[in-house]
Amino acid sequence: MTKVAAVILAGNAAEAERQARIALGRGADLVELRLDGIAGLGSETVRHLAKALGERAIATVRSHGQGGESREGPGRSSLLREICGQRFAYVDLELKADAEGLDSLARAASRHGTKVIVSHHFTEAVDVHRVSEAIDACGANGDVAKVVLPVGDLGGAIRLVDLARARSDGRPRPLILIGTGPGGMLTRALAGFVGAEIQFASWGRAAAPGQFSLSTAARLRGREPIVLGLVGHPLEQSISPVIHETALAALDLPAVYLPFDLSPDSLDGFWLAMDRLRIRGFNVTHPLKESVAQQVDEMDADAERLGAVNTVVVENGWTNGHNTDVYGFRVSLRALGLRVGDRRSLVVGAGGAAKAVVHVLLREGASVQVTNRTIARADALADSFDEPVAVVPMRDLERGGPWDLLVNATPIGMKGVVNGLPVPEAIVAKAAFVYDMVYNPTTTPLLHVARRLNRPGTSGLDMLLHQAAKAFELWTGQSAPFEAMRRAAKEALR
């Protein structure tokens, strides 16, 4: 079974020992002592740490060239000789920095019952053939081969997972193969599935981007992993991973929720790889809701009616698309006490989210107008409904209104995306209530203007939470821990 190692980053030996003992008490199988970060590290300190923690510790003195705080030279070499002369569970030696003394260090460690990890960290993404060569080189010199490299996209992560599985099937020397960054989190999620020797987890500050926390890694240990996630672009500002990770942890489910930042061109590759990556469900955001609707095997009534999918359940190779945006928007309107029947509404946008909003408003009996910067898309949206939906060009809005409800269903105003207003301020002044589906930041430019104009309004956070809870229940068959999800969302948005 894959062991979980909490990475201990501390500036002095006493703090490293204290943190290591806590991490071991919180479920870690091992601790990785990053000795290169300990000030004034000498032989006496190494011997003390070996005696105190050695049987459950990985001793690592990462070189500067491989991302550590220590530099190559006599000081580091002598420390490694001292470490290999003590009893640790593992010692990490580097393929290149330690090449000259690698054989003698490995022999010394083996004499004391210490397993030798020989590692290599690439500083940039490389092709899978170079990764395979590095695995062979590390494996030829140690008990465990460890190779780490940045992963920039889903394709890179898939290639690493496939390589790790192929190596595992051939029963070679134990392997640790890690992709760093958000794109590489998939390699960590499937570490146990591909038979990795060790899963490295963060304890406090992460040692590498994309590293799971100890609690997440421990939750996956020894269990069949379930991969859930979010598909779309861009994803940097999304808090969906925080919301769903909180829910999974609350119910102790062996699952993770990962960001899959995909362009429309890469959707086919994702689809083909879903089964072997153990993906059992995912949310869909801009700009892929309509593209995914064309890919799924089956859709619920709302998704089929709208031609837009924001939640997919994957079971035995069969994909079932849902539109939980409809549920989320409808429930949030009721929670706000907004009655829209026979009221006038203006929806800004013409994508999948806008379709869900228009669908709900029409079902509730509202009179709906739609505007969009690309008027052809607004026309297409209106034509997709049997009920009348009026299309109003942006330039004509000043002659229209007033509206009982203004809904922004575009990403305009989202943190890190497009700053500004989806409609001019004069249009906001004509709305009795402003509903901005953007939730990050909590006070969007649109809501800021509404507040200044004394117009009540809300962000899309409640809609996000209600649709997320519905998606969670579709994936897991269990009731979503809604209040825990709400607390996590609010904390993430502070």
| Number of C-beta neighbours around residue 34 at 10 A | 22
User: In this structure, are residues 229 and 258 in contact, taking their beta carbons and an 8 Å threshold?
Assistant: yes
How far is 246 from 159, CA to CA, in rounded Å?
29
| Residue in the structure block whose two tokens are 């509730």 | 364
The yes-or-no answer on residue 470 being catalytic is no
Q: Residue 247: which H helix or E strand, with range?
A: helix 240-250
SS3 assignment for 337-400: CCCCCCCEEEEECCCHHHHHHHHHHHHCCCEEEEECCCHHHHHHHHHCCCCCCEECCHHHHHHC
| Strand order through the sheet with 457-458 | 390-391, 367-371, 344-348, 405-408, 434-436, 457-458
Q: Within its chain, how far is the Cα of 259 from the centroid?
A: 4
User: In this structure, are residues 325 and 332 in contact, taking their beta carbons and an 8 Å threshold?
Assistant: no
User: Which position among 146, 289, 355, 430 bears the catalytic label?
Assistant: 289
| Number of C-beta neighbours around residue 486 at 10 A | 17
- Identify the bridge partners of residue 170 per DSSP, sorted by sequence position: none
With the CA atoms of 65, 69, 72 and 75 taken in that order, what torsion angle do they form, in degrees rounded to the nearest 10? -170
Query: At residue 143, what are phi and psi to the nearest 5 degrees?
Result: -80, -30
Cite the active site residues. Answer: 289
